[in-house]
Every structure is written in structure tokens, then in C-alpha cells.
């Protein structure tokens, strides 16, 4: 019997909790949407969110921002990156990462990845020495963590300041330590397809008071930096407030109101994502044609999406595979396309950074497929999706591969 066509939406997120809706309505009724527009003695939603997120993340300081991309740009500026500086980053990432580097006038230097979709530490060392770079914007792309202890040790040896892009690893840990706490700062996103959903938004966390004071002024505090839920002592701003420009990248109270109840539910959501991810991963791993990236025991990931590779797949076979999956309602993205499609792109599409040779990464991306796993999918949905992918592989490849 033929399998039923999958009819779910790969872009449909869970609704905002009723508590968040009520809080957002209260903000709108108050008219006080701007984060610094508070009454005497009043704590804004954004202040409360910063305090709560810092506590959950285990960071001294947290700054709520308009987007994860702005968090990265502000982090780079606050860390001291200047125009013309070389900044290392993964060759496999999404456009906002090289965009943030270029946005501060710096030069992205792309580092090869491994078949497990993490930064290649040997190439990182070579590129750091060759370029003279003193900064690494480390992208935990699609939720995959490299050996973070080895990375931290190498960064110390190379005198690299590490900024972590944790857009896909909010809640992930390495040996029990949270993503975003291994470097100088962690950058997080609350865009719709991330682990908290405010449409757009982001956080910047750090334990460095002067760094966070610079970031707060850069975000556009209008000298109201005491109205932060998890910021440095007011004295830290003494000179920084006069030496640092305003980039206007604040989060507003409306988005903060939506996020606070979601943060309280995030641990349960992580368990639910991982149940879906692991079910699909186990099924796909049964195919000899498919490589599912290895997850070390030290890594506690957040499986809100899944990636799988079909090494050596041709462009013609890929077209057949994608066409088959589209016919049965399964939305899979391919990172080997010549041109960017939707949220999918690679370094060949970022012409503003200059051409860079990355043969190993290109080989991996040519056979890399990516799929969202929203919490609106049931476990039965995920099983059906995985079976459709296995069927597609069996149709496209000879019996000895499928």
C-alpha cells in the first residue's frame, strides 16, 4: 500500500502561549512599547526578560536586541573589531554571519568544515596563522557543536577572541556547559524559526562588564542603561557612554512579553524537539546511502532541524530526489544548489566577501540536505516523513546503495 502524502506545514510554529498573548495585550493597552518608557519604579517586560534569560543561560549579563544579526554585529564592535580586520568563521553557515562581519567593515575568512558539519580545527589553526586574525565568529550552524573544550584551548593558544553564534543552539550544552558560554560572548536569535519565537529578536550574553557596557550603548540606551535587568554596574559606563556610538538595535516590550512565557517552557520544548529529531535520525541512519552527522556523547543538542548527507550524489539524482519528496509533501532543502533558495545559501552566493577556495566544504555541501522539525509535527508525522525520505532514496539509487 502506498504511503499517505504528508500534508503538514514545515513552517508552522506553535502558537504563542496564552500567557504571552495576555502580556502583549497589556503592553499594547499601556502604550509603553519602547523598552525605556516606564513609569516610576516600574520594571519593563524587556528588563524582566533580560534578567530571566541571563539566569537561565548562566551569564552575568544579558542584552535584549532587535535581532540575532544585530547581536553579532554589536558583539563584534564591542569586542574591538575594526574595519579591515580579518574575522574567522565557518564556511558552512547562513548569510547573517558573514553579513555581520562585513557589516562592521571587517573581512570574513572562511574555515573548512568536517563531515559532521562543524568547524575543522586544523583548518582553523592554519587560517588563523595565515590571516593573522584575532577574532572568531563561531557559527554553531544548524545546532551542531564542535568539541568546545578543544576549540577553547586552541583559541587561547592562538589568542583568538571567540564570539559564539548560538542562533541554532539555544539550550544546547557541551559536557553540561551551555552553548554561548565558551567564548567572550554568546549571540542568540528569537526569529520565528528559532527556539523562542518573537518574529524577530535576539540576545547578547557575556560575563565581561566593559564589553557589555559598550554593547548596551551601541544598542541605543540613550544613557538609560540603569533600566536593564541584567546589565553592568552604572559606574562601568563612566567613559564608555561618551566614547561609543548609538546603533539603535533595541528589543521592544511587546516582543519581550511574547518571549517570557516561552522561556519558562523551553526545557520541555527541547525534549520534544529531540524526540522528533532522534526518531527521524534513527530511521535515516538505517540507509547505507545516508550519512547522519555524528553527535558526540558530550553534546546535548536541540534537534529543531535535522541534516543528512548523501555523499557523492549527482545533480541529476538530487533533482529526482527533491522532485519525489515535493510530490509527497516533504520539504527538504539542499545546500548544493548553484543559487540561494529561501534561507539556504553557501559561500559562492556571498560575492561581497570575495571568492575563497573551500574544496572540502564544497564536497560536503554538494550532498547536504536539511529539514525543519517544528513542534507542530507529531511523532507519527516524523515517522512518515522519514519513511518518505527512505522511499525517495530507494527510487533514486540502485539497490546496492539504498
Residues annotated as catalytic (active site), given as ranges: 194
Burial of 234 (0-12, 13-18, 19+ CB in 10 A): exposed
Element (H, E) at 369: strand 368-372
Dist CA 58 CA 41 (whole Å): 26
301 torsion bin: left (phi>0), alpha (psi -120 to 50), beta (else): beta
CA atoms within 13 A on the CB side of 328: 20
Element (H, E) at 333: strand 333-334
Sheet holding 333-334, edge to edge: 305-309, 368-372, 333-334
Query: Strand 61-65 relative to strand 202-206: parallel, antiparallel, unpaired?
Result: antiparallel
- CA dist 400 to 287, 288, 348, 364, 369, Å? 10, 9, 33, 22, 21
Give the chain's radius of gyration (CA, Å). Answer: 22
DSSP secondary-structure letter at 251? P
Residue that is written with C-alpha cell 577574532 in the block = 135
Element (H, E) at 202: strand 202-206
Query: Strand 86-90 relative to strand 107-111: parallel, antiparallel, unpaired?
Result: parallel
- E-only strand ranges, 46-189: 61-65, 86-90, 107-111, 135-139, 161-165, 173-174, 177-178, 185-189
Amino acid at each position: 500500500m502506498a504511503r499517505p502524502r504528508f500534508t503538514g506545514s514545515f513552517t508552522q510554529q506553535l502558537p504563542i502561549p496564552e500567557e504571552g498573548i495576555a502580556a502583549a495585550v497589556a503592553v499594547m493597552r499601556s502604550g509603553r512599547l519602547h523598552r525605556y518608557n516606564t513609569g516610576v519604579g516600574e520594571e519593563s517586560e524587556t528588563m524582566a526578560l533580560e534578567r530571566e534569560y541571563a539566569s537561565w543561560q548562566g551569564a552575568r549579563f544579558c542584552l535584549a536586541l532587535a535581532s540575532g544579526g544585530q547581536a553579532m554585529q554589536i558583539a563584534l564592535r564591542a569586542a574591538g573589531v575594526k574595519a579591515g580586520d580579518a574575522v574567522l568563521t565557518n564556511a558552512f553557515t547562513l548569510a547573517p554571519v558573514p553579513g555581520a562581519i562585513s557589516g562592521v567593515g571587517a573581512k570574513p575568512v572562511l574555515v573548512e568544515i568536517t563531515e559532521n558539519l562543524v568547524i575543522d580545527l586544523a583548518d582553523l589553526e592554519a587560517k588563523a596563522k595565515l590571516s593573522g586574525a584575532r577574532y572568531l565568529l563561531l557559527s554553531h550552524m544548524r545546532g551542531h557543536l564542535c568539541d568546545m573544550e578543544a576549540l577553547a584551548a586552541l583559541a587561547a593558544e592562538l589568542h583568538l577572541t571567540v564570539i559564539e553564534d548560538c542562533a541554532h543552539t539555544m539550550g544546547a550544552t557541551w559536557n553540561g556547559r551551555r552553548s554561548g558560554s565558551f567564548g567572550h560572548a554568546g549571540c542568540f536569535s528569537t526569529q520565528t524559526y528559532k527556539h523562542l519565537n518573537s518574529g524577530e529578536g535576539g540576545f547578547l550574553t557575556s560575563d565581561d562588564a566593559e564589553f557589555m557596557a559598550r554593547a548596551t550603548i551601541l544598542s541605543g540606551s540613550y544613557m538609560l542603561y540603569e533600566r536593564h535587568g541584567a546589565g553592568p554596574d552604572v559606574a562601568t559606563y563612566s567613559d564608555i557612554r561618551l566614547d561609543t556610538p548609538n546603533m539603535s538595535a533595541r528589543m521592544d516590550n511587546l516582543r519581550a512579553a511574547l518571549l517570557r512565557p516561552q522561556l519558562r517552557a523551553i526545557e520541555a520544548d527541547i525534549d520534544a524537539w529531540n524526540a522528533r529529531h532522534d526518531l527521524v535520525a534513527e530511521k535515516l541512519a538505517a540507509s547505507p546511502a545516508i550519512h547522519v552527522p555524528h553527535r558526540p556523547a558530550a553534546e546535548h543538542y536541540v534537534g529543531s532541524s535535522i541534516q543528512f548527507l548523501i555523499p557523492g550524489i549527482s545533480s541529476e539524482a538530487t533533482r529526482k530526489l527533491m522532485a519525489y519528496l515535493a510530490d509527497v509533501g516533504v520539504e527538504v532543502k539542499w545546500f548544493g544548489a548553484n543559487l540561494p533558495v529561501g534561507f539556504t545559501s553557501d559561500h559562492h552566493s556571498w560575492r561581497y566577501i570575495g571568492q575563497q577556495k573551500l574544496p572540502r566544504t564544497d564536497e560536503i555541501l554538494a550532498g547536504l540536505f536539511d529539514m525543519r522539525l517544528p513542534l507542530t509535527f507529531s511523532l507519527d508525522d516524523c515517522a512518515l516523513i522519514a519513511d518518505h525520505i527512505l522511499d525517495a532514496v530507494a527510487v533514486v539509487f540502485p539497490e546496492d546503495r539504498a
